[in-house]
Structure 1
């Protein structure tokens, strides 16, 4: 898979800080990368990409650093724990796979947190090209999810994101911890009478590995009313055949202003994620009556 960050070969003596922007510097002609292997776990990083196709650049208003701040760099670091894995290589501002088609690309700053991303005279053919990719993604996800459900009966989809917690500026206080868990599990479509046990096991797995010397603060449905269009679409289409959890990692693994990443924190977070996925796999493998 192209552009998937791994840490193989990095010694403890090497610098534990790396620029997130560097990880996005290589351009890919592919809108995304996907690997489909046997197994019931799909993991996606649909906002991990940063590149913008060349034909759009004349209409791009936002600067590179501000754009990167609103993307989810390094969320692809967690993908290898899955069976089917998906990474968007392009920026969410070229096509946002977690929004419905009518909001997937917008020239209205109201749709992008007040940020002016595109010139208002962005050609319709460019918008149409982005929407065609958005449509293709949902066709691809339907095809893959249905194949996995046909094989396994029930599947787990983990959609990985990250969020800023120092929006006031690089020298301003961080958001209060009570409103900003280290990992916020979006489970708004999850039926706890069906998957509550899996959710509990998954959360405990995330907490089981210390991050910078302490157990991470993992909570459920704290910051967002829903996980976005992708999990809502999965639930509407497949119901309880697909257990969908959106993971929102607070950017404790990087500086959201300088974009330098803390490799040690990333590794520790990934260890917890791998343990959480392992526990979820064991839960899914149990007979329904033993859950």
Structure 2
């Protein structure tokens, strides 16, 4: 089915590749860029920012028919939070980190909030089009998380509360999409990562979920099956940012297998 919609206006802040299929992937914390006008107030150095961003999730997002990849840093504007909380204004908002050296001017806050509005508008137009074309869609909201917060040479966090892949499905309608979720999770476990079966569990680290999937479920309650994936950074060194390509490729292969396992559920 050809795509006849008008694409969103080009922006440096995110890229949307529209494909022919019902599977959407979103890497909304993949970006690292911070706009020039914010740099005088930015207290975090690039390495500190990158440690809390989700690098390489854009690579995982390539399994989607349609791919959404945000290029700006979550510290400029966080698209997984409500508009009024999308820019950190206190350390409690960002794991105790002091993001800014002084309070941001209102003009800078408004500029970031306007980007939040534009992103949601672009995503709404995209989803409206895909729902019209395919009826039901699968949206994979892809993130990553740190597990070595005590330092480069410290022991990693206990695996009990830190699965290799944490599936977020707090607002997913299990009456409609429970079977899809079960098949998806089962397929993720089938692809070894560095020779071992990945630990995949649901709603372990973030039982309250994120605003982006919750918003999508509110707007498209019966049409969008939104699954959040939180990958533990076993595919990279979160302190040096060095990537383990073999682990990353295994994780991508597992995600590709999981998508193939549930794709028939979204056939028109």
TM-score under structure 1 normalisation? 0.86
State the SS of the aligned residue for 1:260: coil
Q: Could you tell me which residue of structure 2 aligns to residue 136 of structure 1?
A: 118
Q: Could you tell me which residue of structure 2 aligns to residue 276 of structure 1?
A: 258
Q: Does 1:204 align with 2:186?
A: yes
Structure 2 counterpart of 1:161, from 143, 148, 168: 143
Aligned residues: 259
Q: Does 1:224 align with 2:206?
A: yes
Structure 1 counterpart of 2:174, from 189, 192, 207: 192
Stretches (4+) displaced over 6 A? none
Q: Does 1:61 align with 2:43?
A: yes
State the Cα RMSD in Å. 1.4
Q: Could you tell me which residue of structure 2 aligns to residue 12 of structure 1?
A: none
Structure 2 counterpart of 1:108, from 77, 85, 90: 90
Q: Could you tell me which residue of structure 2 aligns to residue 73 of structure 1?
A: 55
C-alpha separation in 2, matches of 1:45 and 1:227: 16
TM-score under structure 2 normalisation? 0.93
Q: Is the 8 A contact 2:162 2:232 kept in 1?
A: yes
Q: Could you tell me which residue of structure 2 aligns to residue 117 of structure 1?
A: 99
State the SS of the aligned residue for 1:230: helix
Q: Could you tell me which residue of structure 2 aligns to residue 31 of structure 1?
A: 13
Q: Is the 8 A contact 1:32 1:89 kept in 2?
A: yes
Deviation at residue 265 of structure 1 after TM alignment: 0.4
Deviates more, 1:98-107 or 1:156-165: 98-107
Gapped runs of 5+ residues in structure 2?
1-10
Cα distance per residue 1:140-199 (max 9 Å; x no partner): 111111111112211111010000111111122111112111000001111222111111
State the SS of the aligned residue for 1:243: strand
Gapped runs of 5+ residues in structure 1?
1-28, 287-291
